[in-house]
Amino acid sequence: MLVPVVPHIGALPSGKRDAITDVAGVTVGHCTLDEGEVQTGVTVVCPHAGDPFQQRVPAGVAVLNGFGKSVGLVQVEELGVLETPIALTNTFSVPAMAEAQIRDCIAMNPECGRSLPSVNPLVFECNDGFLNDMQRMAVRGHHYLEAWAAAGEAVAQGSVGAGRGMSSFALKGGIGTASRRVSAPGAGLHTVGALVLANYGLLPNLVIAGRAVGARLATQLAGAAPAAEPEKGSIIMLIATDAPLDARQLRRLALRAGAGLARTGSVFGHGSGDIALAFSTAYTLPQRREQPMPAVALLHDALLDGLFQAAADSVEQAILHALWRAESITGRDGHVRPALTELLRDWPADAFAPPNDLHDTHP
């Protein structure tokens, strides 16, 4: 099936994999559950190969719309560090993933919660209940461990892991990832990578590479002008970078995920939990107080604009990758979400190519 090529967003080049794992040390793993009424899973993002509890990475959070049930954000906002891998899953599986993270940390650090501080589990969620029977609470602790064990540099996208049952713009959503490389004057070349769990959006509002195509696609899908409905769903946006930034700067970087999200047609609706987190792999912060804190030459705030651009572009690109890579799924009660590529099969191959002149006539 021939469909239009997914457009490249912005002028910045992507990394080797066009994935969050282009940031050295970052790995991603999935565990997918696809058995009839159960269409769900867990995705794990690891900031480095070591013990994240002992060697914490700096992080910042931006809550664009807080309609969500994530675990661990309060402490990340207060302390500005990650202490576990990041887990993504469905809403009702958050407690099981948090327990798995705690148990895993205790296994590696038997004094956790005793002579050592308690660990802060970090689990993000989206509601995949249209396709998945969340009441079964099918994702368990061993699925988290399987996803972590599978973590690597190659990142499967679309209807995998936590993205298995997710919907986006009334189409099949899921996992998407992308990266951008940017140079800062006097600071060298840096990589920014994004990974999204896309479960948001109204189809008539969809914008692809600056082209408002949602209304046309909605008519294709429904066979008539679609009825208005409220925005509901969620999107989790994770941003990694190798640039030396502190938690304050990383919160600012996370906020720029909203620029990429808005370009796709999102208005951060009332019922949409839109949350971004950014972390840096440039240095780690020790858990034990007897270990010295690192002396880090942070990137100057005046040099952040390139990273901001890279964050916005990579998030938008990751969303498009989630839509392009997703496959059609039939789930709970026979509910169906078609893949975007099915609707695009009769569109010209260059439908989203950059315009050659002011008279471009693509949709």
CA distances from 70 to 86, 313, 332 (A): 11, 25, 24
Specify whether 272 is catalytic. yes
Residue from 104, 128, 274, 313 carrying the catalytic annotation: 274
Specify whether 280 is catalytic. no
Collapse the DSSP code of 349 into the 3-class scheme (helix H, G, I; strand E, B; otherwise coil) and give the result: coil
Residue from 70, 167, 168, 234 carrying the catalytic annotation: 234
Residue from 14, 168, 266, 272 carrying the catalytic annotation: 272
3-state secondary structure string across 153-218: CCCCCECCHHHCCCEECCEECEEEEEEEEEEECCCEEEEEEEEEEEECCCHHHCEECCEECHHHHH
Residue burial 221-231, b: 16+ Cβ < 10 Å; e: rest: beeeebeeeeb
Collapse the DSSP code of 319 into the 3-class scheme (helix H, G, I; strand E, B; otherwise coil) and give the result: helix
Alpha-carbon torsion 91, 197, 33, 123, what sign? Answer: negative
The gap between the terminal CA atoms of the chain, to the nearest Å, is 20
Q: What's the token pair of residue 27? A: 């790995």
Q: Is the CB of residue 67 less than 8 Å from the CB of residue 180? A: no
Supply the DSSP string of 212-254, one letter for each residue: E-HHHHHHHHHSSPPPP---EEEEEEEEEE-S---HHHHHHHH
Residues counted in the chain: 363
CA-to-CA distance for 28 and 40, rounded, in angstroms? 17
In which element (H, E) is residue 38 found?
A: strand 38-46
Summarize the chain as % helix, strand, coil (round to 5): 30, 30, 45
Q: Which residues are catalytic?
A: 234, 272, 274
